[in-house]
Amino acid sequence: MSYSTSQIWTIIGLLGIGTYLIRFSFLGLIGSRRMPLFVLRHLRYTPVAVLPGLVAPLAVWPAATGGAPDPARMAAALVTLAVARWRNNMLWGVVAGAATLALIQVAR
């Protein structure tokens, strides 16, 4: 790494400010005004729209296998989602998913 100390702190500072502005954006500027129904209808789906896409590449091409497709992690991901949905409970999903991953790896 060939940055000066001030360059490193500039990166940290600007990244911090930029990240904060992204997080503050809608929450800060719109405040208590009501957003149009059309927008609210889209926002209702934010968690289910972002989180699966965030973790899908980690399940299909995990860093732990050097990016090679890993059936164990894919199976664990599907079991987690299915059991959490079926029992309507997060913890059951976690237990089932972790158990699936552990079992497949022990069985290998």
Partner 1 sequence: MASTTSKSGFRQGVLAGLPFTVFAIPFALLFGVVAAEAGLDAAQAMGFSIVVIAGASQFTAVQLMTDNAPVWAVLAASLAVNLRMAMYSASLQPHLGTLPLWQRAAVAYCNFDQSFAVSSARYETAPEMPVAAKFGYFMGVVTPLLPLWLIFTWVGAVAGRAIPDWMQLDFAMPILFLALVGPMLKSLAHVAAAITSVIVALALAGLPSGTGVLIAGLAAMIVGAEVERRRGRA
H-helix segments, 3-108:
5-30, 37-43, 46-60, 71-87, 90-107
Q: How many residues bind partner 1 (CB under 8 A)?
A: 77
| CA angle, 70 then 98 then 83, to 5° | 100
- Using CB under 8 A, which residues numbered 57 to 76 contact partner 1? 57-64, 73, 76
Whether the CB-CB separation of 73 and 82 falls below 8 Å is answered with no
Q: Which is nearer to partner 1, 68 or 80 (CB)?
A: 80
Tell me: does residue 9 bind partner 1 (CB under 8 A). yes
In the bound complex, what is the minimum distance in angstroms from residue 27's beta carbon to partner 1?
A: 5
98 binds partner 1 (CB under 8 A): yes
44 scored as a contact of partner 1 (CB under 8 A):
yes
Are 75 and 104 a contacting pair, CB within 8 Å? yes
Least Å distance, CB 71 to partner 1, is 13
